[in-house]
C-alpha cells in the first residue's frame, strides 16, 4: 500500500532506525519509496561494493551465516539440527557425486538488503519450484520438526560455474514472504505457485556479482558448494552480497 508522499520521510526514517538500517545504505530520498516493499527491495547505492579481485566466490546476499554442514555417509544433509534427504533439499540431482559438498545457510532479517547476486561467473541449468507453505525461517522460531527448507515455498537452482563445477542455490520463502523475483526468468517465483521444473537451453549466464533478483521481504538462501571451496566465515557472522564468502578453487590449489 503506498504511503502518502508527505508522510514518507518520517515513516521511513523511523522504520530504518528501529530496524538498524544505516541511512547510507538506502539510496535516494525517502520520498522516492512509495511503499514498505519498495524500501525493503531497495537497490544498492550507486558505486557501492565494488567487486573484489581474486578467485573467491561471493556471498549471494546480505544476512547472517547460520549453518554449514556436509553430506552424511547415509546420503542426507544435517542443517540446523534437522536431517534432510538429498531428494528433499536438492531435487533433480540424483546420480551426481556430491561427496565433500558443503551446504551453507544465510538468513536474511528484515533489516538486510533483499536483492541477491551471482556468487561467481555462472550458468543456470535448471530451476525447480516447490509450492510449499510459508512458515517462519527466523532461527529463533524454527523447530527441527518444521523442516522449512523442504516444506516452505522455494526455488531451487541447479547451476554451473565457469570452472565447470556444479553447485546449487535454494531460495526459501518465509512467513509473510511469498514473493521472489529472478531477472533471468521473469515468470520464475511468481504466481500461480505450482511444483515444477524448468530446463534452460541455452542456460542463462551471469557474471560474478551480477544481480539475480530479490526477495519481497526477508528469508533464507542455502548454497551448496563443491569441495574445493572453503567457507571464510564461521556460523553466526554477518555476510554481505558481492563480498567474499568462499575461498579456494581449482585455480588456487597447489
Span 9-21, pLDDT tens digits: 999 999 999 999 9
Q: Which helix or strand (DSSP H or E) is residue 12 part of? A: helix 8-19
What cell was used for 173? 520463502
**Quick check: 168 and 126 in contact, CB under 8 A?**
no
Q: Could you state, in order of their start, the residue ranges of all structural domains in the chain?
A: 1-46, 49-252
pLDDT exceeds cutoff 80 at 141: no
pLDDT at residue 254 in the model = 43
The three-class DSSP label of residue 62 is coil
What cell was used for 128? 525447480
What share of the chain in percent tops pLDDT 90? 61
pLDDT exceeds cutoff 70 at 176: no
Q: In what order do the strands lie in the sheet with 180-182?
A: 115-117, 211-215, 180-182
**Quick check: 70 and 49 in contact, CB under 8 A?**
no
The answer to whether residue 87 is catalytic is no
Q: Which of 62, 114, 128, 158 is catalytic?
A: 62
Between CA 112 and CA 40 the distance in angstroms is 8
Query: What is the average pLDDT score of the chain?
Result: 88
pLDDT at residue 146 in the model = 59
pLDDT at residue 140 in the model = 56
The answer to whether residue 55 is catalytic is no
**Quick check: 249 and 163 in contact, CB under 8 A?**
yes
Q: pLDDT tens across 200-250, in order?
A: 999 999 999 999 999 986 588 999 999 999 999 999 999 999 999 999 765
What cell was used for 185? 526468468
Q: Which of 59, 114, 117, 161 is catalytic?
A: 117
**Quick check: 245 and 61 in contact, CB under 8 A?**
no
Cis ω on the peptide bond leading into residue 180 (within 30° of 0)?
no
Between CA 213 and CA 117 the distance in angstroms is 7
Between CA 216 and CA 117 the distance in angstroms is 15
pLDDT exceeds cutoff 90 at 185: yes
**Quick check: 157 and 198 in contact, CB under 8 A?**
no
- End-to-end CA distance of the chain, in Å? 56
Q: Which of 59, 161, 165, 219 is catalytic?
A: 219
Q: Which of 249, 214, 248, 235 is nearest to 105 (CA)?
A: 235
Q: pLDDT tens across 35-88, in order?
A: 988 998 999 999 999 999 999 999 999 999 987 788 776 778 887 678 888 888
Higher pLDDT, 31 or 253: 31
Give the CA dihedral 185, 200, 221, 178, nearest 10 degrees.
40
Q: pLDDT tens across 78-124, in order?
A: 876 788 888 888 998 877 888 889 999 999 988 899 999 999 999 99
pLDDT at residue 56 in the model = 96
pLDDT at residue 21 in the model = 93
Q: Write the CATH number of the domain with boundaries 49-252.
A: 2.70.70.10
The answer to whether residue 195 is catalytic is no
The overall pTM is greater than 0.85: yes
Amino acid at each position: 500500500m503506498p504511503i502518502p508522499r508527505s508522510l514518507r520521510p518520517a515513516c521511513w526514517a523511523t522504520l530504518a532506525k528501529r530496524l538498524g538500517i544505516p541511512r547510507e545504505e538506502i539510496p535516494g530520498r525517502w520520498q522516492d519509496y512509495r511503499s514498505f516493499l519498495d524500501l525493503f527491495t531497495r537497490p544498492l547505492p550507486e558505486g557501492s561494493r565494488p567487486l573484489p579481485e581474486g578467485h573467491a566466490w561471493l556471498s549471494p546476499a546480505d544476512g547472517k551465516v547460520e549453518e554449514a554442514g556436509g553430506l552424511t555417509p547415509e546420503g542426507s544433509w544435517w542443517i540446523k539440527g534437522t536431517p534432510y534427504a538429498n531428494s528433499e533439499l536438492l531435487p533433480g540431482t540424483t546420480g551426481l557425486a556430491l561427496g565433500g559438498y558443503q551446504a551453507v545457510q544465510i538468513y536474511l532479517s528484515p533489516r538486510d538488503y533483499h536483492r541477491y547476486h551471482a556468487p561467481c561467473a555462472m550458468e543456470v541449468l535448471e530451476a525447480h519450484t516447490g509450492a510449499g507453505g510459508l512458515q517462519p525461517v527466523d532461527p529463533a522460531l524454527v523447530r527441527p520438526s518444521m523442516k522449512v527448507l523442504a516444506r516452505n515455498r522455494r526455488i531451487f537452482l541447479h547451476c554451473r560455474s565457469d570452472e565447470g563445477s556444479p553447485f546449487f542455490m535454494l531460495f526459501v520463502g518465509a512467513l509473510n514472504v511469498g514473493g521472489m523475483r529472478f531477472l533471468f526468468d521473469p515468470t520464475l517465483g511468481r504466481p500461480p505457485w505450482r511444483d515444477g521444473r524448468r530446463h534452460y537451453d541455452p542456460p542463462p549466464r551471469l557474471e560474478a556479482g551480477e544481480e539475480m533478483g530479490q526477495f519481497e521481504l526477508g528469508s533464507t538462501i542455502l548454497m551448496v558448494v563443491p569441495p574445493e571451496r572453503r567457507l571464510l566465515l564461521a556460523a553466526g557472522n554477518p555476510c554481505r552480497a558481492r563480498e567474499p564468502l568462499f575461498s579456494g578453487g581449482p585455480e588456487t590449489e597447489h
